[in-house]
Amino acid sequence: MTELSELESQLIAAVDAAGDEAALDDVRVSALGKKGTISERMKTLGKMDPEERKAAGQALNALKDKVADAIAIRSTSLKNAALEARLANEFDDVTLPVRPELKGSVHPVSQVWEEVVQIFGDMGFAVAEGPHIETDWYNFGALNIPEDHPARQEHDTFYFNPKEDGSRMVLRTHTSPVQIRTMEKSTPPIRIIAPGRTYRCDSDQTHTPMFHQVEGLVLDETTHLGHLKWCLEEFCKAFFEVDQVKMRFRASHFPFTEPSMEVDINYSVENGQVKIGTGNKWMEILGSGMVHPKVIAAGGLDPDKVQGFAFGMGIDRIAMLKYGIPDLRAFFEADLRWLRHYGFSALNVPTLPGGLS
C-alpha cells in the first residue's frame, strides 16, 4: 500500500488539476466516496490492534479533512472563475451607439408626469401613491360622497363584482383617495402630489377609460386660499414655460372641498396652434378648493386644528395642451409612428435647471 503522505500528495494534486466542477466531483468520489481510496483504508482499521488503530485512525481522519478542505477551496475558486468568465462573456458595451431601428422614445404622459414632479418637487412637495383598486370608502365615502350623491353617477365608475358581504371594489375614478391614505399615515404639515392612473367608463376624443391625474394636497395649521392660488400660478408658468399666465378661479362644487374652484387659464389660437398665456380665451385645467372638514376628519386628523387645500388635474389633458396633441385616444394606442412624432429623447430628463422640454 502507498504511504499516506504519498496518497495525500496524489489526491491534492488531483484536486488542483480538476478543471471544472464535474472533474472535481470525480476526485471527491474517488477519494471520499464509498469505494474511494480513503474510505477503503478506513475499512482496514478494524483488523488492526488497538494501539495501531488509534494512530492510523487519527492519520486517516486528518487526511480526510485535508482533502475535503482542498476540495472546498478548489470548488470556490472554480465557481469564481466560472462567474468571471460569464461576466466577461456577457459584457455589454454601453458606449456603442444605439441602432436606429431600436431607438425608443419617452411617451408624452411620462414626460409630463416627470415635469410635474420636478416643478412641485422644487416647491417642497413629496410624491405619494395609492392603489388603483380602491374600496368604496376611499374613493367616495371618505371624500364626503355619500351613497346617494349625484357625483357617483358623474364618475362613471368601473365596479368589481360584489364580495360576499355585498361591498364592491372600484377602479379609482380619481386620485383623491390618495388624500385620505396620506392623511392616515402622516402628521401635518403635509405637502404631497399624487400622480397616477385613474379610470372611468367613458371614451371619445377627449376621454379614455384609463387616464392620468395628479392630485395635490397641502395641510397644516395656516394654509389658505392665497397659498393655493400662488402655488397653481407658479405651476402653470413653470409648466407651460411662459412668463405670464392669467388665471380665473371659478366657483364650483366638489363634495370634498369647500369652497371649491375650477381654474381656467387664458390662451389664444395662432395659426391653428394653442398658445397658453396670451389672448383672452379661457380654458379649464383643474379642480381645486379648501379641503372639507369632513374629509380631514375621515383622514383621521382634527379639522379644528388642520386646514389646507387640494387640487386635481388631468395629466393627459395638460400634455395635449402643452405639446399640441389633438386626440387623447392616440395616447394609448401604442402606435410607434405616433410615439416617434410626439415622444421625447430618453436621455433628455426634464429638470428645472436643465429645462423641462
Residues that bind ligand PHE (CB under 6 A): 174, 176, 215, 254, 257, 287-289, 310-312
Q: How far is the CB of 82 from ligand PHE (least distance, A)?
A: 56
Q: How far is the CB of 80 from ligand PHE (least distance, A)?
A: 57
- For Cα atoms 192, 325, 174, give the angle at the middle one, nearest 5 degrees: 35
How many whole angstroms separate alpha carbon 315 and alpha carbon 321? 10
Nearer to ligand PHE, 144 or 176 (CB): 176
Nearer to ligand PHE, 204 or 243 (CB): 204
DSSP 269-311: EETTEEEETSSSEEEEEEEEEEEPHHHHHHTTS-TTT-EEEEE
Q: Under a CB-based contact definition with an 8 Å cutoff, are residues 279 and 190 in contact?
A: no
Cβ neighbourhood burial of 277 (10 Å; 0-12, 13-18, 19+): middle
Q: How far is the CB of 162 from ligand PHE (least distance, A)?
A: 24
Nearer to ligand PHE, 71 or 291 (CB): 291
Please list, in sequence order, all residues whose beta carbon lies within 8 angstroms of the beta carbon of residue 84, skipping any fewer than 6 positions away: none
Q: Which residue is at the shortest CB distance from ligand PHE?
A: 312
Nearer to ligand PHE, 195 or 350 (CB): 195
Nearer to ligand PHE, 106 or 180 (CB): 180
Nearer to ligand PHE, 157 or 257 (CB): 257
The number of residues in the chain equals 357
How many whole angstroms separate alpha carbon 117 and alpha carbon 176? 17
Nearer to ligand PHE, 112 or 228 (CB): 228
Nearer to ligand PHE, 135 or 348 (CB): 135
Q: How far is the CB of 165 from ligand PHE (least distance, A)?
A: 27
- For Cα atoms 313, 315, 321, give the angle at the middle one, nearest 5 degrees: 100
Q: How far is the CB of 215 from ligand PHE (least distance, A)?
A: 6
Peptide bond into 189 cis (omega under 30): yes
Nearer to ligand PHE, 38 or 112 (CB): 112
How many whole angstroms separate alpha carbon 178 and alpha carbon 195? 10
193: nearest Cα among 248, 142, 235: 235
Q: How far is the CB of 315 from ligand PHE (least distance, A)?
A: 12
Q: How far is the CB of 304 from ligand PHE (least distance, A)?
A: 21
Q: How far is the CB of 289 from ligand PHE (least distance, A)?
A: 5
How many whole angstroms separate alpha carbon 37 and alpha carbon 277? 90
Q: How far is the CB of 288 from ligand PHE (least distance, A)?
A: 5
How many Å from the N-terminal Cα to the C-terminal Cα in the chain? 83
Q: How far is the CB of 189 from ligand PHE (least distance, A)?
A: 18
Nearer to ligand PHE, 196 or 312 (CB): 312
Write 342-346 long-range contacts (CB < 8 A, 24+).
342/108, 343/104, 343/105, 343/106, 343/107, 343/108, 343/111, 344/105, 344/106, 344/108, 344/111, 345/105, 345/106, 346/104, 346/105, 346/106
DSSP 136-162: HHHHTGGGT--TT-THHHHTTPPBPPP
